[in-house]
Amino acid sequence: MSADRIQRIDHDDGVTVVHERTGVSGSGETYSEALESLVHRFQTTTDLVEFVENATEIVSEAADPQEAADELRELRDTATLVDMSREVQRRFADEDVTEDDVEDAIRWARSQ
């Protein structure tokens, strides 16, 4: 079994890594950040493939076109929510936001 290769490209403002088999890439100021970006993009790509497979299954099994459209909208909304949640988690990690920070922000928002 051969391992997939990751190509590293250094440039003035950081590093880009490219998964040679799929062409998926990630960039960052450091090699570690570029790899983290690559992992995030792989997850997004995997989620997209799963979304398309689920959508295809919904359409092929639906007896009523309106029912299929409603289910696809719900699936899209769920995918959007998951993506937003993942982005918020990434930003919180990048900015070292703690659970206490979040609780303080919630308390402050409720007091306004």
Average pLDDT, the chain: 82
* Eight-class DSSP state of 64: S
Q: How far is the first Cα of the chain from the last one, in angstroms, to the nearest whole number?
A: 59
Specify whether the CB–CB gap between 27 and 37 falls below 8 A.
yes
Rounded to an integer, what distance in angstroms lies between the CA atom of residue 63 and that of residue 95? 48
Q: Which residue type is seen at 32? A: S
pTM for this prediction: 0.45
Per-domain residue ranges for the chain?
6-111
Structure tokens at 13: 């403002």
Specify whether the CB–CB gap between 25 and 39 falls below 8 A.
no
Band of pLDDT at residue 1, cut at 50, 70 and 90: very low
Q: What is the model's pLDDT at position 3? A: 65
